[in-house]
Structure 1
Amino acid sequence: MGILTNESCLKMKRKEFEKTIEPLKLKLGELQRTAKEKELPILIIFEGLEASGKGAVINDILLTLDPRGYKVVSHNHPLEGNSLPFKQYIENIPGKGDFHIFDRSWYDYAFTEESNLTRRCKEINKIERSLLRSGMLIIKFFLHVSKKTQKKRYIKAKKNPAQSWKVTPYAWQQNFNYKTIAGTWEDILERTNNFDCGWNVISSDSIYGAKSEIFRIIVEKIESQLNAKEVRPDDVLLPYKKPFSLDKINLEKALDKKEYKKELEKLQKKIYNLHHEIYTRRIPVIIAYEGWDAAGKGGNIKRLVGRMDPRGYDVIPIAAPSTIEKNHHYLWRFWKAIPRNGHISIFDRTWYGRVLVERIEKFATNYEWKRSYAEINDMEKQWIDDGAIVLKFWLQISKDEQLKRFKERENTPEKKWKITEEDWRNREKWKDYNSAIEDMISRTSTTTAPWHIVPANDKYYARIFVLKRFIDAIEKRLYGKK
């Protein structure tokens, strides 16, 4: 084997270990405090063969740290009912200054999905690249143990009542199929052993040597990250083949009230039945609404869910991020809200705020919003590849129509709460937002997740347009209709 035959193998006895480890533990405690002060998020991933000592290593690390500043997450397999398997990992990534340890991670999931190994490794590489570019330190360990040592540890554990539960038929199967299992892991490690986020493969035949080496690497990596100058790659802006122009949208399209009511009744009845089919077939649906202020997103969503079972969908209004959300990767709060199997999540404003309001208002740096196009495309593709339906709607109105609606809101008591000073300020930047919107659509309207541009000067037309597109997408999945 390649990468597993080059693992670090440091033999060490207990006395030598205790002498070596003490200064490393003191240093790690100090570095944890410094990382907290400097808001450095740290993620340490532990993978390894059965009986390789991951639990013992993690325990020693925890005894060194301030318990108020770390979190250990033990992952097995994706939670039941969740067809988007990376959710449970993403929602547990550290925020600024946090120190998280994954006892098994997305790599263990890739191992269990050997038929999709190539795709999963590519997805993991993209996720880690996004986290690294956000400033996170990721340290990855794979604990390797020989077949002989693994068997010895099983036998020893079997004699200990406190540990015998660990020696399961699955564990013995791992030893019996040792060569095949180690080979699969080697394939994973080689596919994900990136220059900026490489694997530290450690032999744990000597557990003291393994612990010493792991502590040394963690201390070295954190120190290096804290002292490093930020280097930003130049290739973060995703190019687009065909520029998009909002001026080409025909905003004159309209429906009279009688025709609208007739269509609405018919389409909502159809959606009622399709919603049940979505649940039965366990298909997650993600709907993204974006649009100009006063474009009618709220009213549009009301008509979409008008006949749906309220237990089967969530409407998620997105406002400015909270303090906790700001401390995490910008996509974190959206990953947390994606639906379970058979459920629908409707986002009233979305992750595209990164390339719209955050870009225009300079809440995100040029580097941050420019790299997000590719990251968003990667995220949506992953959702779709895992079985989700993703629908994206941009509600387009003219500048004159927006002004008309603003004034109507100001003059209508029950609507006055909808208009704010911020709406007027955003209107003054119409030209800047228009350019950002066109960039967004050009760079993120993909074959698998295209933007549906909704002519919304007429609210009736816009509502029917969205309902029809929703029905088309669901029927295409359920029945293969074009």
Structure 2
Amino acid sequence: MLENEERRTHTKDEQKAWKAERKELERALEALQQPLKEAGIPVMLVFEGWSAAGKGAVIARTIARLDPRNYQVLTFGPATDEEKRRPLLWPFWKGLPAKGQIAVLERSWFGRALERMEEEPKETAQLVEEINIFERQLCDDGYLILKFFLHIGQAEQRRRLEKLAGDDDTAWRVTDRDWRQNRDYVRRKEKLDLLLQATSTPHAPWHVVWNEEKGSGPLEVLRTVKAALDDALDHGVPKPAPVERAPWPLLEMPRLSQVDLSPRLSDADYDAALKKEKKRLSKLHSRLYREKVPVVIGFEGWDAAGKGGAIRRLSWALDPRGFDVVPIAAPTKDELDRHYLWRFWRQLPKDGHIVLFDRTWYGRVMVERLENLTPEARWSMAYDEINEFERSLTRWGAVVLKFWLHIDPDEQLRRFHDRENTPEKRYKITDEDWRNREKWPEYEKAVDEMLQRTSTEYAPWVIVEGNDKKYARLKVLRTVRKALEERLDS
């Protein structure tokens, strides 16, 4: 993809024509902002390229006439200390634009992946897969991704770096890394070419822009952006082709109707075991921090099944400085305006820390499915998207556990009445709880399918027999403790 073009001199008339066309395209983009907003199409303009290739100037021309309220420019240099402690794609999920908005990225996941590949060449295939999954998931959700690589030759790059370095006002922009890149231009070009080809897809292709000649690069970018926006407004955002995947490494799971809910614990046995488990978990938490192992734990279950109680007992064993509890309610407008996984990616922990999700991304295939909040075409994709998300977390190094707290309808009814009749618990019972109870058979069917299709070797579901709260709470603690021991002692 990275072929050098011959330099040629353009006449003044050609330069004048370029300028006139550029201004016309800038006005056209300005006029497209409102239709994009009305259509709810989120746009990501990605700019990569050689050092000194002119990314800043091209971006400036691209957004010259856009309303600043409709776009945001995000600059990604080398990963910060905060970003190094989270998954590679975390900052880019955080920066997703809302529907009808434009995100302009100076450098992106492409550059970060290239840095990682140079440090760990064995990770190349995995990183390419992560990039392609990220872009495919966004395009499936209606995002328009336009990627530009600004290309210049080695001699031109050296000339530009020398010019920048020779000016006191711009010398700070030239780093040792830039000079190394120029000296190693040929080898780096080969790596770039391979990565560009591996991550250029029909729904998110790379546009290589030769940017040595003044005015030609910005004009080519404007032409490409204008054509893509027109096409998206007329025909919709390009959708990825169906993906052929290897079978997921699924664990065999029972149906909820097959789960024995009779296990119980005496108060004495519970108190003794709880004290023991808390002590062991506390020590493990310190080891997690020292060894920088992140932990992601999700809690789902029937209304009144005891999620809150299980989370509280687990939190008692943990250092409050090293974990967060994230309650998930109905999505806000900001959350509805972005990919459904956005709000979960944003809450991922730093390495060495733990996050407990009180309800999770599985709402996509339960509530959103059964309440017709999401079209079937989208929620049916979520099983694979979720498996990809959780695999990405484990590849990063996270321990991922998911608990389904299970009770029977009679126990739920008893707890509902207890909440209604206890003033300090009354806030816990809502009309929605009663409404969901009426749909128990439909929810049970959806949960069974969820368990069957998303309990993987790397992110297993654990069904917790919850009719006895003490038994359920202890099972959660023991399961977490055993999973952490297995990981830390492996």
TM over 0.5: yes
- Matched position secondary structure for 2:215: helix
Q: For each residue in 1:357-378, what CA deviation from the matched residue of structure 2 results, as whole angstroms up to 9, or x when unmatched?
A: 0100111110111111111111
Aligned to 2:469: 459
Distance 1:287 1:313 in 2: 11
Task: Specify whether residues 257 and 38 from structure 1 end up closer, same or farther in structure 2 by C-alpha distance, changes over 3 A only.
Answer: same
Amino acid at match of 2:37: K
Alignment of 1:157-306 (within 5 A): 157-229=164-236, 235=242, 244-306=254-316
- Matched position secondary structure for 1:88: helix
Corresponding residue to 2:451 among 434, 441, 444: 441
Q: For each residue in 1:301-358, what CA deviation from the matched residue of structure 2 results, as whole angstroms up to 9, or x when unmatched?
A: 0000113221111111000001111111111011110101211110000000000101
Task: Specify whether residues 159 and 232 from structure 1 end up closer, same or farther in structure 2 by C-alpha distance, changes over 3 A only.
Answer: closer
1:236–1:367 Cα contact (<8 Å) kept: no
TM-score by length of 2: 0.94
Q: For each residue in 1:156-194, what CA deviation from the matched residue of structure 2 results, as whole angstroms up to 9, or x when unmatched?
A: 222222222222221111110001111111111111111
Aligned to 1:5: 3
Amino acid at match of 1:180: R
- Matched position secondary structure for 2:217: helix
Distance 2:241 2:74 in 1: 34
Over the aligned positions, Cα root-mean-square deviation in angstroms equals: 2.0
Aligned to 2:113: 110
1:9–1:210 Cα contact (<8 Å) kept: no
Aligned to 2:395: 385
Aligned to 1:64: 65
Aligned to 2:156: 149
Aligned to 1:26: 27
Aligned to 2:90: 87
Aligned to 1:408: 418
2:303–2:412 Cα contact (<8 Å) kept: yes
Task: Specify whether residues 77 and 171 from structure 1 end up closer, same or farther in structure 2 by C-alpha distance, changes over 3 A only.
Answer: closer
1:147–1:175 Cα contact (<8 Å) kept: yes
Distance 1:46 1:14 in 2: 24
Distance 2:93 2:148 in 1: 19
Amino acid at match of 1:85: L
Unaligned runs of 5+ in 1: none
2:299–2:356 Cα contact (<8 Å) kept: yes
Higher mean displacement: 167-176 or 377-386: 167-176
Q: How many residue pairs end up in the alignment?
A: 478
Distance 1:336 1:113 in 2: 21
Task: Specify whether residues 232 and 260 from structure 1 end up closer, same or farther in structure 2 by C-alpha distance, changes over 3 A only.
Answer: same
State percent identity of aligned pairs.
41
Corresponding residue to 1:369 among 362, 376, 379: 379
Higher mean displacement: 24-33 or 59-68: 59-68
- Matched position secondary structure for 1:314: strand
1:48 has 2:49 as partner? yes
Task: Specify whether residues 8 and 339 from structure 1 end up closer, same or farther in structure 2 by C-alpha distance, changes over 3 A only.
Answer: farther
Q: For each residue in 1:402-428, what CA deviation from the matched residue of structure 2 results, as whole angstroms up to 9, or x when unmatched?
A: 111111111111111111110000000
Task: Specify whether residues 346 and 91 from structure 1 end up closer, same or farther in structure 2 by C-alpha distance, changes over 3 A only.
Answer: same
Distance 1:112 1:361 in 2: 44
2:27–2:65 Cα contact (<8 Å) kept: yes
Distance 2:25 2:112 in 1: 32
> CA shift at 1:207, angstroms?
3.6
- Matched position secondary structure for 1:205: coil
> CA shift at 1:134, angstroms?
0.6
Task: Specify whether residues 11 and 74 from structure 1 end up closer, same or farther in structure 2 by C-alpha distance, changes over 3 A only.
Answer: farther
Distance 1:472 1:270 in 2: 10
Q: For each residue in 1:384-414, what CA deviation from the matched residue of structure 2 results, as whole angstroms up to 9, or x when unmatched?
A: 1011111111111111111111111111111
- Matched position secondary structure for 2:150: strand
- Matched position secondary structure for 1:63: coil
Task: Specify whether residues 4 and 72 from structure 1 end up closer, same or farther in structure 2 by C-alpha distance, changes over 3 A only.
Answer: same
Distance 2:7 2:94 in 1: 34
Aligned to 1:130: 137
Distance 1:177 1:237 in 2: 37
Distance 2:272 2:335 in 1: 43
Aligned to 2:79: 78
Amino acid at match of 1:390: V
> CA shift at 1:8, angstroms?
11
Amino acid at match of 2:26: K
2:406–2:467 Cα contact (<8 Å) kept: yes
Aligned to 2:336: 326
Distance 2:6 2:316 in 1: 61
Aligned to 1:316: 326
Distance 1:259 1:11 in 2: 87
